[in-house]
Amino acid sequence: MTTPSLEAVERRRIQMWTVMFLVLVGLSAAVIVASFWTEALPGQIRNFASMPVLRVCLLAVTIAFCVYVYEKERMLRKVTRALVDERVLNAALTNRVTELATLSEVAQAINSVLTTREVLGKILQSALSLLHASGGRIMLIDRERNLLRSVCELSADGSAVDGPDEVALGEGIPGWVAHHRDPILLHRDGADGMFSRLVPPGSPACSAMCVALINRGELLGVLYVSSLDEAQSFTEYDLRALQLFAENAAVAISNARLFEAERAHVTKLQEVDAQRQEFVATVSHELRSPLTSIVGSVRTLRKRGQAMASDQADEFLTVIERQSNRLLQLIDDILFASRIEAGENRLRGEPLEVVRLVDEVVSSFNARDHRRRVCLVAPPHSNSMAAIGDPNGLQQVLTNLVDNALKYAPGDTPVTVSLAEAGDEIAITVSDLGPGIPKADLPHIFERFRQAHGNSGATPGVGLGLYITANLVAGMGGRIWVRSEVNQGTAFTFTLPMRTAPARTGTGSLPPVGASTVRGA
Amino acid sequence: MRNSRPRVLIVDDEPDILLMLRVNLEAEGYSTLLAGDGETALRRIAEERPDLVLLDVMMPVVDGWGVLERLALMDPRPRVILLTAKASTRDLSKARELGADEYVTKPFDPDALLGTIEKVLRSRPAERDRPSIQPVYLSDEL
């Protein structure tokens, strides 16, 4: 059965009233005629009309007809009302379908290959068109600066969206929502006066809504929309719809972050892998160099040893010994570096007589080579200087730095080790007047295998020396940095916490600007 | 036979390798020149015109490739044997492209190197020494 249309019902009603009008007119005429002009009627009819029974009958029929028409009208009204209701319902349903379609589009966008920015743009665009909003923005929370930052904004007519791009937590509508996490719907003339409290006086907005973006309990940001048109003020129903958009936006943002984290992880793994390959190539190269000398010297001695002067044979033995030690040192360094990476590098934290330990290292260098002098510069009261650290660690750090300085600086220039107190630390500086380190290399100097990258084998070693040194310093709670000028010289400074001061754990003050640094981890 | 002993320039940044090569070459009757880096090597090649250069690849300032590139502009060009700790096929083709005569990977047996040196010195005498011999010889054959 088909439902009658509103128009058909209306037509029936007009027909009914017309019929009723005609019938009433007819009846009335009959009654009037019967009552007043009975003489004019022919005899038989006159007799019939003058009968009282007929008058009563006519009156009864008229009343019955009126009652019928009244009932009919009541029914028709009911039908009309139902039809109007249905029409309204239909309109609402159509609206819901549009909404669902929009939301499903949004959900599809989240799962598509679009970038986060595109997905957020799509969500915002759908929200604006469905809610007939003038403008809106998605703001994400910046934990470091403790504020909300607009990452995506859109307006219906291309004009600027009301409100600032950045807002502190607790400030304005977005700040309020981020702080309370509750959705908010405000009208300019709202009775609670909240609008005028949260929105700056000059704002063109008439009504505004804002919802927090929350994923698994974590606040990510807010979704804000506003309407500049009084006629398009938002309703509670609109707020519900905006919440659905916000849920989708939160999922999109979380997905994007997960994806970013995953991608960063993969990149990191690729880097590690590339580094490992580079390491194998470098190590194989570094093993081949000393082996060339060792193999060559052994074969030479075997073939020509008899014919050789004894001091020359001795020289070859020295070469073999030196290069074997170099191989051993290389293997030790590699093992040490891998221990550092595995987190097995345990250093003691005991009171150190800094001056005595430093002096031991400097003296051993001076005893080894009488032509090169390493000078020790210490303040007068330095004998009382006491630091916390590992005695072997300190000596290895100093040995590495002095060794480097002697290796790079020309033979006739001095290498100086100086001691100083700096706040609650003791600073030890090793300086040379060598060729210096190019500015571009400074930030990477403490990285693993660094020398091997930049320096195409200018000096022997796999580039582990400074990496190990920096890690030893960090392990003792100190800091290390370098200052260098090309053709002027280089100064490495490392610190150890003073005995009176609590041991540092890497939160020390920043070193001088422009210097490359490694701090305790 | 050559009237003078062939002169070999040994280029390596490791003094121990220089020593080992010098002793072996001199024992075999070569006259040796030494250089510890690419810069020095180029100067000595220009000044003293050695017959052969034993050239290490990994060196500071100017590396072996740099030396090889600049030698390409030199006339006459000394013969070159590259000594390298790297042994990739890419390096090998690069060496050929830049005109190295031989490519020896470290570590090497000094005797084997001496054999290679002899082979290189014999196989390709500098064109300027006997400019017209080959064409004449070939026409007689035909």
Which band of pLDDT confidence, cut at 50, 70 and 90, is reported for residue A506? very low
Report yes or no: B44 and B50 within 8 Å, Cβ to Cβ.
Answer: yes
pLDDT at A455: 41
Strands B52-56 and B7-11: parallel
Lowest average pLDDT, out of A112-121, A202-211, A253-262, goes to A112-121
Say which residue, A129 or B113, is predicted with more confidence: B113
Contact A292 B63 (CB under 8 A): no
- Residue B20 and residue A300: Cβ atoms within 8 Å? yes
Kindly tell me if the per-residue pLDDT of A14 is higher than 90. Answer: no
Least-confidence region, from A5-9, A387-391, A446-450, B20-24: A446-450
Least confident range from B9-18, B77-86, B108-117: namely B77-86
Query: What is the per-residue DSSP string for A193-226?
Result: -HHHHHS-TT---SEEEEEEEEETTEEEEEEEEE
pLDDT exceeds 70 at position A232: yes
Q: CA-CA distance, A75 to A81, in Å (whole number)?
A: 10
Q: Evaluate if residue B43 carries a pLDDT over 90.
A: yes
For residue A107, which phi and psi values (nearest 5 degrees)?
A: -65, -40
Comparing C-alpha atoms, which of A305, A307, A249, A285 is closest to residue A123? Answer: A249
A293 to B16: CB separation less than 8 angstroms, yes or no: yes
Per-chain mean pLDDT for chain A: 83
Q: How far apart are CA A434 and CA A414, in angstroms?
A: 9
Q: How confident is the model at residue A291 (pLDDT cuts 50, 70, 90)?
A: very high
How confident is the model at residue A3, as a pLDDT?
A: 63
- The pLDDT assigned to B133 comes to 30
Looking at residue A70, its amino acid is Y
Write the residue in A293, A307, A457 that is nearest to B20 by C-beta.
A293
Contacts of B58 in chain A (CB under 8 A): 285, 456-457
Inter-chain Cβ pairs, chain A and chain B, closer than 8 A: 78
Assess A204–B contact: CB distance below 8 Å, yes or no: no
Q: Is the pLDDT of residue B130 over 60?
A: no
The answer, for A242 touching chain B at a CB cutoff of 8 Å, is no
Considering chain B, what is the average pLDDT of its residues? Answer: 82
Q: If you measure CA to CA, which chain B residue comes closest to A286?
A: B85
Mean pLDDT of the A174-193 span: 89
Q: How far is B122 from chain A (nearest CA, A)?
A: 24
**What's the gap in Å between the CA of A486 and the closest CA on chain B?**
15
Q: Are A143 and A167 in contact (CB under 8 A)?
A: no
Q: Testing the interface with A: which of B10, B19, B22, B39 to mutate, by most A Cβ within 10 A?
A: B19
pLDDT at B99: 85
Using a CB-CB cut-off of 8 Å, the residues of chain A touching B105 are 288
- In degrees, rounded to 5, the angle at the alpha carbon of residue A497 between the alpha carbons of residues A496 and A502 is 160
Predicted pLDDT of residue A514? 36
Of A308, A312, A457, the CB nearest to B58: A457
- CA A420, CA A378: separation in Å to the nearest integer? 7
pLDDT at A158: 82
CB contacts under 8 A, A 56-115 vs B, are none
Taking an 8 Å cut-off on Cβ atoms, the answer to whether A300 and B110 are in contact is yes
Give CA–CA dist B63/A251, Å, rounded: 56
Dihedral class, residue A459 (left if φ above 0, else alpha if ψ from -120 to 50, else beta): beta
- As a whole number of angstroms, the distance between CA A224 and CA B4 comes to 92
A 436-465 → B contacts, CB under 8 A: 455-460
Question: Are the C-beta atoms of residues B83 and B106 closer than 8 Å to each other?
Answer: yes
Which residues of chain A neighbour B16 with C-beta distances below 8 Å? 293, 297, 319, 322-323
Interface contact B85-A455, CB threshold 8 A: no
Percent of chain A at pLDDT above 90?
23
What CA–CA distance (Å, rounded) separates A272 from A30? 112
Out of A284, A293, A300, the one facing B14 most closely (by C-beta) is A293
Between helices A310-341 and A236-304, what is the axis angle to 10°? 160
E strand intervals along A297-356: 350-353
> Which phi and psi angles does A517 have, rounded to 5°?
-140, 150
What pLDDT is recorded for position A503? 46
* pLDDT, position B141: 36
Q: What is the mean pLDDT of residues A420-431?
A: 91
- pLDDT of A170 over the 80 cut: yes
Q: A332 pLDDT exceeds 90?
A: no
Assess whether pLDDT exceeds 80 at residue A104.
Answer: no
d(CA A323, CA B36): 18
Kindly list the residues from chain A whose CB atom is less than 8 angstroms away from the CB atom of residue B106.
288-289, 291-292
Query: Which of A284-288, A501-505, B27-31 bottoms out in mean pLDDT, i.e. has the lowest?
Result: A501-505
Q: Which CATH superfamily is domain A116-262 in?
A: GAF domain (3.30.450.40)
| Inter-chain CB proximity B107 and A322 less than 8 Å | no
Listed range (A33-42, A197-206, A259-268, A418-427) with the worst mean pLDDT? A33-42
Residues A462-483 pLDDT 10s: 578 888 899 889 888 899 999 9
In the prediction, which pLDDT does A381 show? 78
Distance CA A103, CA A126 (A): 8
With contacts defined as CB-CB under 8 Å, which chain A residues touch B17?
Answer: 289, 292-293, 296
CB contact under 8 A, B107 and A294: yes
Query: Which residue on chain B is closest to A300 by alpha carbon?
Result: B24
Contacts of A403 (CB under 8 A, 6+ apart): A465
Best of A288, A292, A327 to disrupt the B interface by mutation (most B CBs within 10 Å)?
Answer: A292
Side chain identity, residue A183:
P
Q: Is A307–B107 a contact, with Cβ atoms under 8 angstroms apart?
A: no
Do A267-341 and A350-519 agree at the fold level? Answer: no
User: What pLDDT does residue A114 have?
Assistant: 62
Q: Are B108 and A458 inside 8 Å of each other by CB?
A: no
Tokens at A106, concatenated: 């949004």
Cβ neighbours of B63 in A, within 8 Å: 456
Name the band, by pLDDT with cuts 50, 70 and 90, for residue A345: confident
Residue A330 is predicted with a pLDDT of: 85
Segment A322-340 mean pLDDT: 86
Q: What is the pLDDT of residue A121?
A: 85
Q: In this model, does residue A521 exceed pLDDT 60?
A: no
Tell me the domain boundaries of chain A.
Answer: 6-103, 116-262, 267-341, 350-519
3-state class (DSSP) for residue A1: coil
What CATH number is given for A267-341 in this structure?
A: 1.10.287.130
Whether residues A289 and B110 touch (CB distance < 8 A) is answered with no
**Angle (nearest 5°) at CA A40 between A36 and A44:** 100
Residues of A in contact with B60 (CB under 8 A): 455-459
Which range, of A39-48, A281-290, B102-111, averages the lowest pLDDT?
A: A39-48
Q: Which residues of B touch A (CB under 8 A)?
A: 13-14, 16-17, 19-21, 23-24, 27, 58-61, 63, 85-86, 105-111
> A361-397, pLDDT tens digit by residue?
999 888 887 778 888 988 887 777 888 899 888 998 9
Give backbone dihedrals phi and psi of B8, rounded to 5 degrees, phi first: -115, 130
A289 CB within 8 Å of a chain B CB: yes
B7-141: which CATH topology? Rossmann fold (3.40.50)
Give the gap in angstroms from C-alpha B115 to the nearest C-alpha of chain A: 15
Out of A19-23, A85-89, A115-119, pick the least confident.
Answer: A115-119
pLDDT digits (tens, 9 = 90+) for B47-65: 999 999 999 988 877 788 8
CB nearest A288 (choices: B20, B85, B111): B85
Higher pLDDT, B17 or A517: B17
Weakest mean pLDDT among A43-57, A196-210, A307-321, B13-27: A43-57
Of A184-188, A265-269, A335-339, the range with the lowest mean pLDDT is A335-339
Contacts A296 to B, Cβ<8 Å: 17, 20-21, 24, 107-110
Residue A187 makes CB contacts below 8 A (sequence gap 6+) with A195, A206, A207, A233, A234
Task: Please say if the pLDDT value at position A97 is more than 90.
Answer: no
Which CATH superfamily, name and number, covers A350-519? Histidine kinase-like ATPase, C-terminal domain (3.30.565.10)
Q: Which of residues 302-341 of A touch B (CB under 8 A)?
A: 303-304, 307-308, 312, 315-316, 319, 322-323
Cα–Cα distance measured from residue B71 to residue B79, given in angstroms and rounded to the nearest whole number? 10
Site from A280, A293, A324 to mutate, B interface, most B CB atoms within 10 angstroms: A293
Which of B17, B85, B105 is the closest to A296 by Cβ? Answer: B17
pLDDT-based confidence at residue B25 (cuts at 50, 70, 90): very high
Sheet holding A415-422, edge to edge: A374-377, A415-422, A425-432, A489-497, A479-485, A516-519
Please tell me which residue, B21 or A33, carries the higher pLDDT value.
B21
ipTM higher than 0.90?
no
Residue A55 has pLDDT above 60, yes or no: yes
Show Cβ contacts of residue A64 under 8 Å, excluding neighbours closer than 6 positions. none
